[in-house]
Amino acid sequence: MLVLPRDLGVLEDLRSKLPATAQEHFLTLALGCIVAMGRRTVIRILWAIRPLADADPSSYHRFFSATHWSLWTLAKVLAAMVLELVPADQPVIMEGDDTVTRHRGKKVFGKGWHRDAVQSSQGHLHMMLGHKWVVLAINVKLFGCSRLWALPVLTALHVPPPKEPRAAAHGQVRRQTKAGKATDKNLSRSKLPVLRKRDGAGVLQPRCKSPCLLLRQMLAVMIHWFPDRKFILLGDGGFASHDLAWFCRRHRRHVTLIARFCPDAALYTLPSDQAPRKRGPRRTKGLRLPSPQESVAAAGKLRETNLPWYGQGRRDVRVFSACGAWYRCRGSGRGAVVPIRWVYGRETKKGGEGYFYSTDPTLSGEQIITWFTERWCIEVTFQEVRAHLGFHTPRQRCRRSVLRTGPCLLGLFTVVSLIYAQIAKKRNVKIHAVPCYAKTEPTFADALVAVRRVIWDQVILPRVPGAAIVAKIPPRLKNPLLDHLTAAA
């Protein structure tokens, strides 16, 4: 069994939670994925860590496709490690967002056409064929860093709905006869495509889950695992869902949602107390209020304040906020009302504007905008995972391999960050300077270099052929070799 140094204790804790048959393969693939450069295919990972890969290459492929182990077990341990960096008396800032990776092929599970937010703009829509991953990350401040790091803890794949013809969905199909006329023929139940499946109670379940539903389920898991913590969820415009807001309202003791808002949303007052002698159901909503856009137009001069902004800066922002009840009618005829506080913010110099809301009406408008600006950390995480961990390069196609590879690569970002935090507490970590500009604090590239150096120096080099000769290399020659082997690019 491979023995790891103390600096890699995070990997040792994760390995102990797996079955005995999967522990060595997990550790070999994790170390190889950190050390490898370029694409993160299984063959390239094994090639990068050849002294440790002593099993047959097919067994490492089966680790993702056939070996019995659970991602939930690793996610719970990883989330507990991340929450240790957040004081118990402070709320946990979480971010929910989705990202798209390119993956083509006829037999790839879960692929579909999705909007690429990186290459799309307000006037141009760019679609990408691949996978859409919904990610839940936690904002923490690592040792020696002034900015926040968004560490992913839970990931889910959004599987698009199948594209069946409308006639097949209703039990009919158009057939072309010899005479050239189209006729309808009822299909038997056995020949119908499987559109929905039944659960244990016999209730038909939806064919696919939306990104908002996936994020809501991951949030429910975090509440179940850590009921004593208070969470604040930050979401982009794609997660400005009434269902998600209603879920956070019902669990307001545990979570508060802050996200973008619709300028023309339907807002009402809360229903007043009904007289006990009046018959009929209680009113769900009160009087109609002006939309946020109408309220801002009628407000006139807005309150100006200086708030923290993206990139650790500050901006002069004009703010207007108000409270209201967000109403949505449901299928049963009765609707759900969510008391919210919505905020309008506009930059004084550049003129950028936006509408935001929170399911906690007691928060101030300035606090809502300040917390929402911390959501940009997850965008930095997505960019660094693609650049340094090859998040878009795996080529798995079967169901189990696809569902495991993406969360493992995103979780590896969290593992490397946690290991780097432990190393930085013990000794000074070198910040690799760039000729174009001076770096004032470490980035994920510096964290990856520090972790790779520990793996090469204490794990790989002592196990290569001729390790006794390698140990006698003078530091003046060994350090440049390690700098070349651990380069982040």
User: pLDDT tens digit string along 154-196?
Assistant: 999 999 887 644 434 344 434 444 444 444 444 333 333 444 4
The tokens describing 489, both together, are 């690019």
State how far the alpha carbon of 361 is from the alpha carbons of 131, 165, 252, 365, in Å.
Answer: 36, 46, 11, 10
DSSP assignment of 191-246: GS-----B-TTSPBPPSS--HHHHHHHHHHHHHHH-TTS-EEEEE-GGG--HHHHH
Burial class (CB in 10 A: 0-12, 13-18, 19+), 420: buried
What confidence category does residue 97 fall into, taking pLDDT thresholds of 50, 70 and 90?
A: very high
Question: Residues 116, 128: contact at Cβ < 8 Å?
Answer: yes
Question: Rounded distance, CA 55 to CA 343, Å?
Answer: 58
Q: What is the pLDDT of residues 211-249, one digit of tens each?
A: 999 999 999 999 999 999 999 999 988 888 899 999 999
Bridge-partner residues for 51, per DSSP?
A: none
Closest CA to 102 of 91, 93, 113, 87: 113
Q: What's the first-to-final CA gap in the chain, in angstroms? A: 31
- Within 10 angstroms of residue 335's Cβ, the number of other Cβ atoms is 13
Using DSSP's 3-state secondary structure scheme, residue 322 falls into strand
Tokens of 241: 């869902």
Question: Which pLDDT value is given to residue 191?
Answer: 37
Residue 283: its pLDDT value, please?
Answer: 76
Q: Do residues 306 and 341 lie in contact, with contact meaning Cβ atoms separated by under 8 Å?
A: no
> Which of 411-420, 433-442, 455-464 has the largest mean confidence?
411-420
Amino acid 185: pLDDT:
40
Mean pLDDT of 439-447: 87
Mean pLDDT of 66-70: 93
Specify whether the CB–CB gap between 94 and 140 falls below 8 A: no
What is the DSSP-derived secondary structure letter of residue 464? S
pLDDT-derived band of residue 253, with 50, 70 and 90 as boundaries? very high
Q: How many residues does the chain have?
A: 489
Q: Is residue 333 predicted with pLDDT exceeding 50?
A: no
Listed in sequence order, the residues at least 6 apart from 407 whose beta carbon sits closer than 8 Å to its beta carbon are 71, 75, 154, 155
Structure confidence at residue 276 (pLDDT)? 55
Q: What is the dihedral of CA 377, 379, 380, 381, to 10 degrees?
A: 90
Residue 20 burial (C-beta neighbours within 10 Å; 0-12, 13-18, 19+): exposed
Using a cut of 0.85, tell me whether the model's pTM lies above it. Answer: yes
